[in-house]
Amino acid sequence: MVLDKIVSALNNSRKIAILPHISADGDALGSSLALALALAQLGKSVKVILEEDIPQVYNFLPGRHMSEVYALKETSYDTVVALDTGDTDRLGKRLEIFRCANVTINIDHHNTNSGFAFHNYVSTDSSAVGEIIFSLVKMMGVNPDQDISTCLYVAIITDTGGFRYSNTTPLTHRTAAELIENGINVAGISQLVFDSTSYEKVRLLGSAIQALELLENGKVALISLTDDMLRSTGAKEEECDGIVNIGRNIRGVEVAAMLRQWENGEIKVNLRSSSKVDVSAIASSYGGGGHKKAAGYITKAGLDAAKKKLLDDIREVL
């Protein structure tokens, strides 16, 4: 089985790099830090290498001292593990580290995963990569302590929206139950992850709601976030995270989209589906990817053109 091979590959490595995807979210970060903490217990030299700083909301995660932002310094690792990463584009500049490793491992749950490593374990039934890492850590012979459990719990609650999304399974709850048995602070973690917002983000939410367009007889909700909106509210880029859900939560909406125009002109598109529409198929047609109900892509088209093309794509599948 692939996971057994991954365990022996990790056992045979001395120096390991763990790479979560760019714009790392709770699952990518929590899984990466949990695996790093477990490997450190086995005496491995291990680092989590990030594309950007850890978003403020995750600044409480245990094991964050084992992470650093990639600075093109070091590329020599025996083994590199990509987590929650659908394809090599999602590694950004760190693709260099990946390319230079002797052994490469890809552990993921996106149905669009391209199988880009030597060892590929892609479990689309897993709610979060954190759920996979929980099994892996135990297979490695490490007992998840409170720190590892906290990281994995964050991974799972963020990818399931607090056990609300359709990816939540009996195993998700069983895993969470074991993590709680390991002594984590459920209320404390939930508050930090879900119920703690900066004033600037609240202001950004206000302008996002103002900008929301309801189209196709209320079946499509679209939000465009401009630099101007970020500047005037003082919100940070990372605080755009989750804003797409405002549209998705409107009764009758089947597909919600958030278009975020970056300074370099590129547009990041986040898609959510609350119906049978498979948004990962739309994202894949632009070279992006994700899950059936949550996906994304980046396009170089202008904002108006990107919007028009996306609406055409959605209309076709509605």
Q: Which residues bind Mn ion (CB under 5 A)?
A: 27, 84, 159
Tokens 């450190």, residue located: 40
Least Å from the CB of residue 257 to Mn ion: 20
**Amino acid residing at 6:** I
Q: Which long-range contacts (CB under 8 A, 24 or more apart) does 210-215 make?
A: 212/246, 212/247, 214/250, 214/253, 215/311
The nearest distance, CB 57 to Mn ion, in angstroms, is 16
Output 67 or 127, the one with its CB closest to Mn ion.
127
Biggest CA–CA distance in the chain, Å, is 58
- Nearer CB in complex with Mn ion: 102/114: 114
Minimum gap (Å) between residue 113 Cβ and Mn ion: 11
Tokens of residue 14, six digits: 């001395």
Q: List the one residue out of 196, 122, 130, 186 whose CA is nearest residue 158.
A: 130
Which of 316, 314, 296 shows the shortest CA–CA distance to 221?
314
In angstroms, give the least distance from the CB of 111 to Mn ion.
12
Residue 131, token pair as written in the block: 């759920």
| Minimal distance, residue 108 CB to Mn ion, in Å | 8
Smallest distance from the beta carbon of 167 to Mn ion, in angstroms? 9
Closest of 131, 105, 135, 102 to residue 118, by C-alpha: 105
CB burial of residue 136 (10 Å; 0-12, 13-18, 19+):
buried
Output 27 or 254, the one with its CB closest to Mn ion.
27
**Amino acid of residue 145:** D
Element (H, E) at 147: helix 146-159
Could you tell me the smallest distance in angstroms from the CB atom of residue 84 to Mn ion?
4
Q: What are phi and psi of 45, to 5 degrees?
A: -85, 115
Q: What residue number has its CB nearest to Mn ion? A: 27
Task: Identify which of residues 130 and 224 has a Cβ nearer to Mn ion in the complex.
Answer: 130
- Based on CB atoms, which residue is closest to Mn ion, 175 or 261? 175
d(CA 101, CA 81) in angstroms, rounded, equals 10
Residue placing its CB nearer to Mn ion in the complex, 194 or 211: 194
Amino acid at 152: L
Beta strands 289-290 and 294-299, pairing class: antiparallel
Which of 113/224 has CB closer to Mn ion? 113
By beta-carbon proximity to Mn ion, the closer residue of 159 and 239 is 159
Judged by DSSP in three states, 256 sits in strand
Taking phi over 0 as left and psi of -120 to 50 as alpha, with beta for the rest, 203 belongs to alpha
The least CB distance from residue 216 to Mn ion, in Å, is 29
Q: How distant is the alpha carbon of residue 251 from its chain centre?
A: 26
